[in-house]
Amino acid sequence: MLTIGVDSSTQGTKAVVYDTSAGKIVASAAVNYGRDLPEYGAPDGFIPCADPAVRRADPRMWIDGLRLALARLRDSGAPMSEVAAIGGCAQQHATVYLGADGGFTRESSPIWMDSSTTEEVARLDAMFGSSLARRTGSPATERFAAAQVIKFAREDPAAYAATARIHLLSSYITAVLSGRADAPVDTGDGAGMNLLDLSTLEWAGDICEAVAPGLEKKLPPVHRPGGADRYALAPEFASFGLKPGIPVAPFTGDNPASLVGCGAEKPGCAVISLGTSDTFFAAMPDFRTDPDGYGHVFGNPAGGFMSLVCFKNGSLARDRVRRECGVEWDRFDAICGDGGAGRAFPYFETEITPRHEATGVEADFDWAAAEPERKIRAVIEGQLLNMYERTRWIGDFPVIYATGGASRSAGILKAIRRIFDAEVRTLDATDSAAVGGARLAAAAAR
Ligand code: XUL
């Protein structure tokens, strides 16, 4: 069976045609928001803002990106008319606000990189304390919908009142593809809102009401793994050569989709995804929360739960250090795998694990005076040691799958092997999130 998997990520949209019996990508197309949709003024996928805590994007950019990726797939000669189902995923935590007429009530959407809600997190902590993590799988978290909605309702009560639906980007894309106002939030992405009760997989009514009056009614229904809700492709997508009416699998978050795309949805191995964010995640045999309060529990699209820890300074930080050192990627790759050069932590964006203001690189040696080689090795060492330390609560894994753009780097894989003392496997493609979406589409078509 051929299915399409879409990955609507921070910096662009990718769409692949996947052959489920061969387990192979047969065609793919990508859109980069900065290069291909410059009219949205978001070179790295968000609107530059002097305040590093504010990270927002125009939601129209994501839909234009989706359409352009599908058009490029069609124009590359991909067998669009043979596609039997479409599925996919999106960057987690971005929220989209719609009025009753389907228009946007909030012109720019906060994305996962936003950390402007420290005050709102303190309010949630004061109201719910540690019960929030026990119930929703995560402590109050700045980028999650609960904190973001408190802020929106306080700053613009009229716009909040005019909002009929608050989607995650994933559920919004499902709605667009199926031509419906309503599409469900899946438990993978939905758990990243501080609003879903993970013991019932229903919205936690009391938390929703405490966040903002009438919030529960503004949230989409919840899609549980294997749920019976069915969505079909809207007629307008025939212009991309697709058959209208084919199943649309409810979209999930990029990390839950990657779990499926790597074939790691059963407990036993972990995944390190090296993208705009670096994440470490694994299917979870038993529900446990991070005692240090950095990690999360999300729904596993294959059923049950997954653990996840997210690091904000991922590929953009690696690229910035590379450029500052004046080297190309092949040189960076050749150098970066060896330790012994000290540790450096790049805080170009306000870090979330652990919380740290955007202050630049902090090293245990004189950063400014150091040679480029030392800087590069120390930054990879610092990023991975931090990841190792913050994911101890999840457990030890003999096998780790590496995915995301930077998993192409043999040097980074070598450093993972050394620091995690694990066998490191990579997929043929680095598109595990899109492939996960394509596999979820196949399940929806059966
Ligand atoms: C996970 C997170 C990021 C985004 C990146 O909690 O915030 O990994 O999903 O797209």
- Whether residues 293 and 245 share a domain: the answer is no
Closest by Cα among 240, 201, 237 to 221: 201
Distance in Å, CA 75 to ligand 1 centroid: 30
pLDDT at residue number 67: 98
Residue 25 CB contacts under 8 Å (≥ 6 apart), including other chains: 16, 17, 18, 19, 429, 431, 434, 435
What integer is the mean pLDDT of 109-117? Answer: 97
What integer is the mean pLDDT of 134-144? Answer: 97
pLDDT category, 181, cuts 50, 70, 90?
confident
- Whether residues 291 and 310 share a domain: the answer is yes
Q: Rounded to two decimals, what is the model's pTM?
A: 0.96
What integer is the mean pLDDT of 312-341? Answer: 96
Q: Determine if ligand 1 sits within 6 Å of the CB of residue 403.
A: no
Q: Can you say how many angstroms the Cα of residue 372 is from the centroid of all Cα atoms in its chain?
A: 31
Closest by Cα among 109, 222, 213 to 160: 213
What integer is the mean pLDDT of 203-232? Answer: 95
- Whether residues 441 and 369 share a domain: the answer is no
- Whether residues 9 and 46 share a domain: the answer is yes
C-alpha dihedral sign at 158, 65, 70, 14: negative
What integer is the mean pLDDT of 92-116? Answer: 97
| Ramachandran category for residue 371: left, alpha or beta (phi over 0 → left; psi -120 to 50 → alpha) | beta
Helices (H), 247-391: 254-261, 315-325, 329-336, 372-390
pLDDT at residue number 428: 66
pLDDT category, 272, cuts 50, 70, 90?
very high
- Whether residues 159 and 50 share a domain: the answer is yes
pLDDT category, 286, cuts 50, 70, 90?
confident
- Whether residues 293 and 280 share a domain: the answer is yes
Burial classification of residue 348, based on how many CB atoms lie within 10 Å of its CB (0-12 exposed, 13-18 middle, 19 or more buried): middle
Residue 312 gets which letter from DSSP? S
pLDDT tens per residue across span 229-269: 889 999 999 999 999 999 999 999 999 999 999 999 999 99
With a cut of 90, say whether residue 420 has pLDDT above it: yes
- Whether residues 206 and 294 share a domain: the answer is no
Cα–Cα separations (whole angstroms), residue 23 to 7, 141, 226, 270, 446: 18, 37, 21, 20, 16
Q: Which own/partner pairs from 237-240 qualify as long-range (CB within 8 Å, at least 24 positions apart)? A: 237/70, 237/177, 240/67, 240/70, 240/71, 240/73, 240/74, 240/80
The number of distinct structural domains making up the chain is 2
Question: Phi, psi at residue 238, to the nearest 5°?
Answer: -60, -25
Which helix (H) or strand (E) covers residue 95, if one does?
strand 95-98
Structural domain including 326 reads 263-426
Residues above pLDDT 70, as percent of the chain: 100
Task: Note if the bond before 59 is cis, omega within 30 degrees.
Answer: no
Q: Which atom of ligand 1 is nearest to the CA of 255?
A: 9
- Whether residues 103 and 218 share a domain: the answer is yes
Q: Determine if ligand 1 sits within 6 Å of the CB of residue 254.
A: yes
Distance in Å, CA 197 to ligand 1 centroid: 20
Core vs surface per residue 305-329: b (16+ CB within 10 A) or e: bbbbbbbbbbbbbbbbbbeebebee
Q: Determine if ligand 1 sits within 6 Å of the CB of residue 344.
A: no
What integer is the mean pLDDT of 419-438? Answer: 91
Q: For residue 349, list its beta bridge partners.
A: none
What integer is the mean pLDDT of 332-358? Answer: 95
With a cut of 70, say whether residue 115 has pLDDT above it: yes
Q: How many other C-beta atoms can be found within 10 angstroms of the C-beta atom of residue 394?
A: 19
- Report how far residue 442's alpha carbon sits from residue 446's, in angstroms, rounded to the nearest whole number: 7
Q: Which atom of ligand 1 is nearest to the CA of 276?
A: 5
Question: Phi, psi at residue 191, to the nearest 5°?
Answer: -70, -15
What integer is the mean pLDDT of 408-424? Answer: 97
Q: How many other C-beta atoms can be found within 10 angstroms of the C-beta atom of residue 53?
A: 16
Q: Which atom of ligand 1 is nearest to the CA of 10?
A: 10
- Whether residues 286 and 352 share a domain: the answer is yes
Alpha carbon nearest to ligand 1 atom 8, residue: 277
- Whether residues 154 and 246 share a domain: the answer is yes
- Whether residues 147 and 200 share a domain: the answer is yes
With a cut of 70, say whether residue 429 has pLDDT above it: no
Residues above pLDDT 90, as percent of the chain: 96
- Whether residues 73 and 114 share a domain: the answer is yes
What is the CATH number for 60?
3.30.420.40
Cα within 13 Å of Cα(15), Cβ side: 26
C-alpha torsion angle, residues 108, 350, 131, 300 (rounded to 10): 70
What integer is the mean pLDDT of 145-170? Answer: 98
pLDDT, averaged across the chain: 96
Q: Determine if ligand 1 sits within 6 Å of the CB of residue 309.
A: no
Q: Determine if ligand 1 sits within 6 Å of the CB of residue 192.
A: yes
